[in-house]
Each structure stands twice: as C-alpha cells, then as structure tokens.
Chain A
Amino acid sequence: MPIQTIRRGVVALLTVLSLAACDLDLTDPNNPGEDVVEGSISGMLQVAVGLQAEYSNEIVDPIFVSALVADEVGAGGGTFQYIQELDVGGSEFDNTNGSSEAPWAGQYDVVQIANVLIQSAPGVGMGEATLSGVLALAKTFKAMAFGNLLMTFEQIPTDVDPTEPSPDFDSRDAGIEEVFRLLDEARGHLASTAPSAEFTEEVLAPGLDLGQLIDAMTARYALAFGRTGQAMTAAQRVDLGSFSEFRFDANDPNPVWNLMAAGGNSTEMRPEDTFRLGAEEGDGRVAFWATEEDIEGANVPLDAHARYGSNGAAILAVLPDEMRLIMAEAQAASGDLATARALINEVREPCSSAFDEPVACLPPLTAEDLPDAQSVRDQILYERRYELFGLGLGWDDLRRLAPAEVKYMFMPVPNSECDRNVNTPPGLCTIG
C-alpha cells in the first residue's frame, strides 16, 4: 500500500474516532423526562393516574383549614402556632404558614398535571374513547382544584403555566366561571364519546364514577358560589343510587389520617368534643366520624378520629345525601319549604345504607319543627355538619348559612406567590 494512502487513512480514522459518540440529547434514565412522558400514550395514561393520586392526597390541605375554621376538628396541644390560631380564630399568623401555602401549592400541583393532560394527551394518538375519558378527568380535577381554591382564597389566577412566573389574578367571578366552564366541557367529552374500557378499568381510580362526579361537583361548587339554580339542576342529574369515593391503602395512605392522626404532635388535629356534644341525641353520624375520648387540646377537649383513624379509610366524593341537602337548600331558597323538609328527612331517617357512609337514623322533622326558611336553613347547616364532616365543606357552609359565625372570610394568598408573582394584588396577601 503506498505510504500516502496509509497516511490519509490514519488521518481519516482519527477524525472518525474523535467524532464518535456525540449524542447530546441524553434522557434521564432515573426519572422519565417530559418529552418521553408527554409524547407517549402510556406516559399520558400514567399521568392521568398520577393526577388522581395527587388530587386525593392534596385534598387534605383545604380540608384541614376548613375543618379548623368550622370547629369540626381542634388543635392538639403541641401543634404549630398557626394551627392553634386557626382553631380559635385568632390573627397571630400570616401568609408564610401552612394554612396559606399548603392548600395553594397543592391545588396548583393538581392544576399543572391536569394542564399537561389537556395540552398533550390529544397529540399522542390514543383512541378517541380513551382520550375522551382522559380529557374529562383532567378538566374535572382541574375544576375541583380551582373550586377548592376559591373556597379557601378570595381570588386566584386560573390561566397558569410553568413558563409564566407571574400569572394575572382573575376576578372572583371569572375564577368561578372557569370552574363551571371546565366541568361543562368535561361533561361534554363524556356525552359526545363514552370513555373506553381501557380508561374506566385501567385509568379511572376504583371507587370513582366520573360522570356522577362531574355532576356532583357542579352541584357542590354551584351551591358554594351562590348559583343555587345551577346547583339544583346538577344535583338532580346525580343518580342518588350511586356513590363515589377516593380510596387509599397502606402504600397510598389516607392523607387526612396521615396529617391529623399520624403526623405527630405538630399537626395533631382531632374532632372537637363539641362536635359530639352538639349533636341531636341518637344521631348515628357522630360515631362515624368521632369516638369519645378526653384528649387535651390546645383550646378545647378533643375526641379521637373514628373514620380518619386508619390509613386505608376512603374520603367520600359523591354522596347522595350531599345532593339531597343541596337540593333542599335550593328549594328553600326558592320558597318550597315542604320539598326542602322532605329532602332533609330523606337524609335523617335511614338507619342503614348500601354504602360506607354516615347514617343519622333520626326521626323526621315536621312543618312545626321547621316552620320557616331560616329554620330550614339552620337544619340544613346541622345536617351538613354531621353528614359532611372533614370533607372541607364546613367553612363555606358557615359563610353561606351562618355568616355571623365565620372566623375568617378567606386565607391570605401565600407569601411564596406574593413574593414571586408580581401580579398578585397586595390586598390578598394579608389575613382578611
């Protein structure tokens, strides 16, 4: 071989060797990257599962704030100062505390995951029937997150995106509007294309009926946000023979149990004994939620958790009795007290249920017992307190039905948002 050829060959070989192995688009072998997850059907379906896990865990934050403010639970003796303050309605805390940060950040984590699904799921080529279920699920959970936020904070941003560090806050009305727009769209997806078996059997969490959940949540938030007529219509759509719940197990423990019962001294929160003592004699629902005990609390004596006393307890999602009480409240608002009373008695009278839910087993109330709109409303507040303990609704019930008893109108927007989002209205950052 001529020497020149060898020399050229060596030069070429060295160049090739130097340029070998130049892959600059390396993926993370430990944690799948956004391009992988958001570009594949299996990735999107696992995110849909993750969305439900996230929501069912983050739900504890609006729950504990509401339960403290509504005196469902009381602060344990060694709890954080702000928990004790919320319990008594004091003002010795600010927006750097968990009562602001936790519900805000947790619900926005849900919104972010839902946004990923809404944006990316349509592009990965999954079947139409599966996509319909995924989009309905994402919009429902996003609406629920906004709904929970609006029951805790006065105003929120809804047009949020990781690339925009300072989103604009919506007016309260616009925020509320977004909740129902999302729920309507979710219902639309299911109406136009029924979800596939792949979705209902492998993605949707066992224990949830998505169609019922959409209507029940529409009714719940419509009532909370003063849209009584819409609440009535939606509640009427809910099949009162159906039931949904968020389930947990030892690997995915109930977050209310985890925080209030198992979280240690600093977050110990247990049913106030006034919850038990304030019940009508014989109200079977008390024992569903609380067990008599004399635990010293920071402010009032405390009982033990019954329902939330174990890590595998489910959190109720669609309750027929909540729908009945929503309808009763709507009927009372429209002046039909008789129908309202009948609905209240439907909640009170049963002594058993096909579902794992509280049953009152109380005598019916008559027109003499509930002669006027105010007495009906008071009774609805009572029934809701015992029916819907620890579901994050008590605070808003007081705002609606007993405004004089409300300790706080809303929580302040957390410091982390106020500091980093230049569009936060400053007035929202202090205790109102």
Chain B
Amino acid sequence: MRRTSHPSGWVFVLLLLTAIAGFLTPASGQQRYTVVGRVLDAVAGTAVSGAQVTVAGTEFGALSDATGRYSIRADVPAGTYTLQVRFVGREAGTATITLGDQQVVRAPDILLRESAMELGEIVVTGTAGPTSRRALGTSVVSVDASSIADAQVTTIDQALQGRVAGATIISNTGTPGGGVSMRLRGTSSITGGAEPLFIVDGVIIDNNGDQQINVGYRSNPSNRLADLDPDDIERVEILKGAAAAALYGSRANNGVVQIFTKRGQIGAPRITVGSTVIRGDLERSLPFALTPLDEDGAAVTRFDHQDLIFRNSWSSDHSFSVSGGADRTRYYLSGNLVDQEGIMIGSGHEKLNVRLNLDQGFGDWLEVKAGANIVRSQTDLQINGEQGTGGLLTSIVFTPTTVDLAERNPETGEYVNDAFVFANPLSVVEDWATPQEVSRFIGSLQATAEPFDGLTLDYRLGYDDVDLGTSLFIPRGATGSPTGTALSTNRASSLLNNDLLANYQWGVGQSVDMTTSGGLNTTQEKVRNLNLSASDLVPVTELVRGAVQSASEGEVETTTVGVFVQQQIGLADRFFLTGGLRWDASSTFGEDERWQLYPKLSGSWVISDEPFFDGMPDFFSQLRFRGALGYAGNQPTLGQAYARFARYGSTNNVGRLGLVPLGQAGNPDLRPERQREWEAGFDVAFLDDRIGLDFTYYDQNIEDLLLTRPFASSTGFASRLENVGSMSNWGTEIELRTENVNSESFGWASTLVFSQNENVVDSLAVDPFTSGYNNRVEQGHPVGVFYMDAFRRGADGEILSDEVGPLETLSDSIVGNPWPDFSLSLANDVRIGDRLTVSFLLDGQFGHQVWNQTQRIMDIFQAGPLYDQLLRGEVTPEYRTRIQGIFEAYLEDADFVKLRNVSIRFDLDPTWFRGVGVEGAQIQLQAQNLYTWTDYTGYDPEVNMFGLSTVARGVDFATYPNARTVGVGLRLSF
C-alpha cells in the first residue's frame, strides 16, 4: 500500500510537543510588576502589533497586540529599567521606566520609526543566517504584519498585491478560494513552472494550482496560498531572482517568498478576537444585447442573464488568537473561520484554520520551535470557462438574450428553456454539485543551538501534507447526461524538507567581521492522484457509484539534495562582500548532470557611513550602493519528473500484456533550467530620512530552457525533453517612500512602487509554437505574445478595409502582449488625530492586452454588443460576420488602475471597556477592488482562464470575475 504521509514527521512533532509541555514551569521572582504601554508608529501614529518589548537585562517581555498595547509581568527587584522594542523592518525604540512601590506601571508610548531606509532590518531568507539588510547586495523585499493587518485581506497574496516592486500578482479568477498567480521579475520558463518557491517558517509548501477534473476546462485553478491565514503572518520576505536566491539552488529560478508566522512572547496571555462581515458584488456588467428588437425590427423581449447568475454576497471572517509564555516557554495559538459567499450563485468557500506555535528554550544554548497548522476548507465551485456543459457564465454568453432562462413550467416546477446549447444554469445550480475539499497539515520544527560562542547550528524539519479532492455530480436526467455522471479526483501531496545550517561568526582585528556558513538540505515531494468516474448513477447518492465505473491512479516522487557554503566579510560595518556556492542534485536530473553548481557573489557599500561622506550636503542622509551576481535553477516539472529515462507503456496483443516504449525518449543529460542574474542598485535617503528611494536594475539570462524537441521519426521516438532554449528578462524597480506630513494631529506617508520588465525569447531550438489559445512562443519575441488572426494592415500599419468593413490577414500574426510594460502602485497611510487612520492602495498595470473571447462568443451567439449594434441598425450583418471572424477585433488594451484596497480604522478608547477586561478595541472599514479605471470592456482586466499557466496568459473566456467587496470589522484584545 502506497502512502503519501510520512508518519515519522508526525511522531516527531508530537514527541516534541509533549516534551515542551513538560517544561512549563511557573515563574518565580523577587517582586512582581506589571508593565503596560503602547507601541505606535512614529509617523502614522498607528498601533504596531507584534513588536517585541523586553525589559533590558532580563528575560521578561511581551508582544504588542493589534492595538499596539503590551503588558509585561516582570519578577525583578525595584529599580530603573530600559524597555527595548524590536520590530523587524523598523528601527529599534526604547523607553525608561522606574519600578517602585506601584505594582502596575504605565510606560510612556514607544514610537517606532519605519525608517525610510531600513538598513538595520534583519533579513533571513536567501542568506545562510540572519543578516542585516545593510550587508545584502540584493533587493530583498519585506512586508510586515502591520501592512498586512492594514490591508484587511483574506488571503496573503492579496496583501502583497501592489506592494512589491518587481512582482506581478494577478487574480486569475474571482472564484472564492481561487487562484492567484505571482511572477517575480517576469517569466523565467516556458514549459516549466514560473511561480516562486513558497516557504512558511522554513517549510517548503505546496503551491499547486492544478485544476482538478474539467469543471469548465481551465476555469477553476486552485490556490494553495488561500489556505494560510493572513492574521498569522508576522512578516514576508521576497527574493526576486537568482542573485538573491542562489542558496535555494535548483528550485529558485522564479524567486522565493518566505512567510514567517507570529510566535508567543513571555508574559500574561494576550487574547485577541476579531470579526469582519463583508459584502461583495459585481463591479461592472457586460454589455449584453438588450435592444428589444429582433433582426427584422420586430419587438421582442430580451433578458439580461447576468441578473440571474450574479448576486450580492455576504461573507464573514472570524479570528481568535492567544499568545504568551512563561520562563522559557512561549506559545501562540490562533484560529480563523471564513465563510465566504461568491458573487456568482451557488459558489462559496468555508475554511477553518488553526495554528499552534510553541517555542521552548533549553539551558542557554538550545532553543526548539515547533509549529503546526491545520487547514480544512470546502469550496462550492461552479463550472465556467470553455467547456460549457453546466457552466453558468459560459451558458449565458452562449445564449441569445431572447431566451427566458428563468421561466418555469408551472406544473412540474422545472425550467422550461435550456441555455441554447447547454443546460439551464439555474437548474445546474439547483441540481448539480461541484464541491472541492482541502485538508492540510503544515508542520515545522526548528532547533537552534549555540554549542559555543560564535557558532549557531540550526536544524529545520518541514512537512506539508495536502489532500485536495474535487467532485462533479451531474444528476440523472440532466441535459446531455441522461443517466448522470459522477467524477471524483483526489490529489494527495506531501513535501518534506530537512535543513541543517551552521553559522560561525568571527573577526579579524577590530574592524573585519567574518561570517562563515554552511548547510545541507534535502527535499522530498510526493504527489498521488486518484481519479474515479461513474455513469448510469445509483439514484439518491451523489458519490461515484454507478453501473459503469472506472478508476486510475498516478504517483510522482522527487528528491532534491543540496549542500552550500557561504562566506561574508564585513569591513568596518560599511563594506560587505558575500560569496556563496550551492551544489544541488535532483532525482529529476540525468545521471551525467546530477550535481549542479550555483555560485553567487554580492557586495554592499554603505557610503554614507564613510568619514568622507560628512562633507556631503545635509540634504543626503543615507546612501548605499549594492550589486550582486548569482545563479539558480528550475527543475523539470512533476509531469516530467522521470524524463531522464525512457519509459514503457502497456499494450495488448491478443489478450497478452506487452510493453512498448512511450513516445518520449529519455534524456540522460537532463539538467535544470539555469538563470544567471545580476542586479545593481542604490538606496538613498534624504531630508533626515523622510524620503527614501530604492533603485534596482536587473538582468536575467535563462539558459537550458526545457523544451520538448521533436525527433526525426527514424529514431523511433516522437520527441525528447531537452535543455535547448534561452531567454532574457531585464528591468527596473523603484520604490519611493515619503513622510509627507508628520505633525501631532495629522500624519501622511506614501509609498510609490514602479516595476518594469522586458522579456525576450533569445533562442528556441524547436519551431515556434502556440500555447493555450493564442499565446505564442517565438524567438525574438516576449514569451506568450498574442498570435492570432489579425486585421490586414497597410504599409503604415493602418487597417485595410473594403465596402463591408476591415479585412483580415491571410495568416496569423503577432498582435499584442499579455504582459504589462510597467506597473505602478501608490500606497498611502493617513493618520487623523489620535485614533483614526486611513490607508488606501492604488495599483495599476499598463501596456498589455487581454483577449476578450467572452465578448466574441456573446456576439456570435446573439448576446453581445456588436449584435446589439446590428439590432439598432448601426452595422450590417456582413460587417458583424466579418468582425466576429477576426480574432484581433477582440484583443483589447487592458491598462487598468484599481483602487485595490481602502481601509479605515478607528481605535476606540479602551477606558470605555475597562470593566469587562477589554484593553483595546478597533472598528475597521475595509474595501477591496472598490473601483477600476480601465477601457477594457470585460468584467475584469485581471483574469486569466489559464490560471497559473506559464505561457498562456491574458485570455478572458467566461472567467469568474473578481468581486468588489466592502466590509466592517471589530477587533478586541484582552
């Protein structure tokens, strides 16, 4: 019996949790004080939650809560103490307190400055050990809990949208719990995956976006990032390419996103509860043909079918957390319950997420941290996209607006009309079912030891186990399926990673700091798929039970092993040089190419700390130059995990089983796609750090792209997976942070993020090919450009016409690009008075196109705006026929600016609640996708029916639009 779970991992975690429980001992001390106070943002005045406040020189401390408040129980002798506040991403803050006769001591507010240039910030991703940002040669983005909390989002990817220079984050679908795709610095692959590597507390997690079974072919990509609870997130670090991510070796071509979750702090239990209610609706409607005439000018009734399938949705999000700690034990426990309605009828998503983080110190040299995250969710999908049977949006775009879909037979109660070629969408919602269930466990275990001064050993075990099941039930008697159909697909995946890191810090003389590091890493991934189907169904049950049944199973496993060393040299804490080497081996590489070497080199020079910088004008406050060069790889996908050898499939010869080779030849020289990236830039701060500017230019060259190369038939094989192509990305990232106003009663800070990327396929050893509908891969062009039936054009590019209308080309040509030329976003945080803060995010993408196949189909099926023009006599039937045949006529500029997020927060005066133990309360109003400025005529310029596909992008075909939502929430802390 094959199993995908790794029982040893569970047992290990359980043993550890038991052990930790045994160490819980009550605190004891000389005199018990309770120190209370607040941690606030120095500019916006907003609460800083999750800041670590400690009484200097003691082990007592606490974390600030969502209102910025903290409460420390300290058993110490009376005296004067310094409170130290640390928060990743901000400069440290301090306050002085005197402990005397009073048991409860109120400390002054501690203001943390979000430095315009965060040189002191500690970054841990992509480096062998925690490293100060000033020493990094690359642009590493970090997003902290407060910006995630401000955004009030339900999934982590939404929290990153518009906040990361160099990242293109696209909501492919508005399906609740549905897919988002992320590209860091463009696309780095053609046939391989292009999504970054996601890591949570050292655990490499599954980010599979597969669409299981054909619930509207390719219209319901799943989103494993939606499983995470944004409230649990302390901080996110993002490495955008090979230069920063070289230590992740052959999984890092597409960058790395590491998520850190919150952990407990010594002190009394801190409890927070929060609830949000959210209303969603459709922001824009499609222009259905509603002119009440037929083609001959006679009066007819027309129906806007959108009214039938879209609704105002109501959703709720409840969260709870308790954290604290005593002696050397700290804990963080949280729960999150999401009940989300989709704006399309019959769609919804329920999720329960529970997390427990436990930290235990042993003596002064060992600390063990464990984390367990359990997620269960159920999503009611609705069919959409290109396979119309049962599709809601699909069926209405394929149905003339004269058909009354809502009409019922008064006697039977059944719907009278089918949706032209498909089943009636209303009966589909009533009788069909497409549930998707996720059951997930993410466990982590980290042990950090300091056997002697300067040496840190860090061991991490990560385990992610996801069970994703999707079913489709079509009842007996359904249109197109008279005896019913039931399908069920289960994908069980497990990812196990083991890391061991060693860091040794030493020095040469007074001003040379050396950090020598090394590490080992193994990753195992296993995915098992089970597919069941039945027809001629047993009545009553919705399970896969019928007179005709079939089943199949598939399994894929990969192993990756890596070893690395890194040396960092710091000179006078101003000039830093880091070099590293990673050797990687993967079971997916051919035996002759098994071990791959990825070097990196980076430098950083904090020039403003040099003595000669004192001579510069006061205008400059800080200046740093940085540069880096690194290599990383991209493994063959799971589907090609065994492409290094030829494989056999079974065949039948007069009742006997035979084996014949599959069409793909084995490639013993198979190796990863390999990216070389260099980047250079500077960070500069002006006017006493009130203006900060980061600039980065990068250049990536990806070689050995994996492509299926067709073979001459005389070899006996059809093709082979080979490392043959190459492409480039280059671009610019600018982040400008300003403190516009900072007075006692009013504060305003802004962040402007600009990213621009260019991509070109440099060489392709295979013929140009098309992916999806019309995304082209061709040498000399960006990957995935639109290649389709186009307008015929004259010498100057003007569209040629005859008496009917525009002419079409005789062969397909390249006519557009689904990738934006650049993106620009502006985040603003405004503080008004003591208790009110307002933040909003404008996010725009410019210079790209979307192919509006939805509208083309509407026009063809007498439901679209062109048909409406015909009804109004504005165009001829011949013109309509001509336009519908020219695909380019439906390629639209999709530039957009979205008011992505608005959040208004009001802190209630805690004294109002003193009696009931409430220490802080906030009311928060939030809105997502409130308004979109765009000329695009579809629902949403952001959707893509091909989900996470690397090449097939920018196609809108009956894709579930993203909802506009407005919510109100209350958050209390005790």
Contacts and interface: CB of A to CB of B under 8 A. Distances in A.
Given A11-B457, A53-B651, A160 B659 contact: no
A14 B645 CA distance: 34
Nearest to B715: A162
Closest 4 CB pairs of A and B: A112-B716, A50-B658, A49-B658, A53-B653
Contacts of A79: none
A20 B660 CA distance: 36
A17 interface: yes
Nearest to A169: B714
Contact of A29 (B447, B461, B522, B555): B555
B573 interface: no
Interface in B619-659: 641-642, 645-649, 651-659
Interface in B507-546: 520-522, 524
Contacts of B710: 416, 420
Most buried by A among B500, B522, B655, B716: B716
B654 A7 contact: no
B659 A32 contact: yes
Interface string A12-32: 001101111111111111111
A120 to B, nearest CB: 12
B653 A52 contact: yes
A31 B645 contact: no
A156 B713 CA distance: 12
B648 A247 contact: no
15 contacts: A11-B449, A15-B520, A22-B522, A24-B585, A29-B557, A31-B662, A32-B647, A49-B658, A49-B659, A54-B658, A162-B711, A165-B712, A205-B656, A252-B654, A417-B714
A50 B660 contact: yes
A56 interface: yes
A1 B747 CA distance: 60
Given A18-B500, A19-B522, A249 B655 contact: yes
Contacts of A419: 712
Contact of B449 (A7, A113, A162, A252): A7
A141 interface: no
Contacts of A157: 714
A7 B715 CA distance: 59
Interface in A245-259: 247-249, 251-252
B559 A24 contact: yes
Interface in A39-78: 43, 46-54, 56
Nearest to B366: A10
Contact of A108 (B363, B557, B658, B715): B715
Nearest to A112: B716
A34 interface: yes
Contacts of B555: 29-30
A49 B716 contact: no
Nearest to A19: B520
Contacts of A10: 366, 447, 449, 451
A167 B714 contact: yes
Given A28-B642, A46-B657, A50-B660, A14 B459 contact: yes
A417 B559 contact: no
Contacts of A252: 651-655
A37 interface: yes
A431 interface: no
Interface string A383-421: 000000000000000000000000000000010110111
A104 B447 CA distance: 62
A54 B710 CA distance: 21
Contacts of A350: none
A32 B648 contact: yes
A335 interface: no
Nearest to A165: B712
Interface string A171-212: 000000000000000000000000000000010011100000
A167 B716 CA distance: 12
B653 A49 contact: yes
Given A251-B655, A416-B712, A14 B457 contact: yes
A160 B660 contact: no
B382 interface: no
A34 B647 contact: yes
A32 B649 CA distance: 7
Contact of A161 (B524, B558, B591, B715): B715
Given A34-B648, A417-B714, 13 more contacts: A10-B451, A14-B449, A22-B522, A26-B559, A26-B642, A27-B642, A28-B641, A32-B647, A49-B651, A104-B714, A108-B716, A156-B714, A251-B652
Nearest to A422: B712
Given A18-B499, A50-B653, A28 B716 contact: no
A7 B366 CA distance: 9
Interface size class for chain A? 35 or more
Contacts of A56: 653
Contacts of B554: 30
Residue of A14, A43, A251 most packed against chain B (CB within 10 A):
A14
Contacts of B712: 165-167, 416-417, 419-421
Contact of B559 (A22, A109, A205): A22
Contacts of A30: 554-556
A116 interface: yes
Interface in A94-112: 101, 104-105, 108-109, 111-112
Nearest to A49: B658
Nearest to B666: A34
A351 to B, nearest CB: 30
B558 A160 contact: no
Contact of A18 (B522, B556, B587): B522
B592 to A, nearest CB: 13
B594 interface: yes
A22 B660 contact: no
B459 A17 contact: yes
Contacts of B461: 17
A33 interface: yes
B654 A21 contact: no
B130 interface: no
Contacts of B648: 31-34, 37, 43, 47, 50
Contacts of A162: 646, 665, 711, 715-717
Given A7-B449, A24-B561, A18 B520 contact: yes
A252 B657 CA distance: 11
Contacts of A24: 559, 561, 585-587, 594
B716 A115 contact: yes
Interface in B698-738: 710-718
Contacts of B363: 3
A46 B659 CA distance: 5
A43 B658 CA distance: 9
A281 interface: no
Contacts of A248: 654
Contacts of A37: 648, 659
Contacts of B347: none
B715 A160 contact: yes
Contacts of B524: 21
Contacts of A417: 712-714
Nearest to A3: B363
Nearest to A23: B559
Interface centre among A20, A28, A104, A416 (most CB of B within 10 A): A28
Nearest to B663: A109
Contact of A26 (B587, B652, B659, B714): B587
A113 B661 contact: yes
B420 interface: no
A26 B558 contact: yes
B903 interface: no
Given A14-B459, A161-B715, A21 B451 contact: no
A109 B587 CA distance: 28
A80 to B, nearest CB: 19
Contacts of B647: 28, 31-34
B649 A164 contact: no
B334 interface: no
Interface in B546-579: 554-559, 561
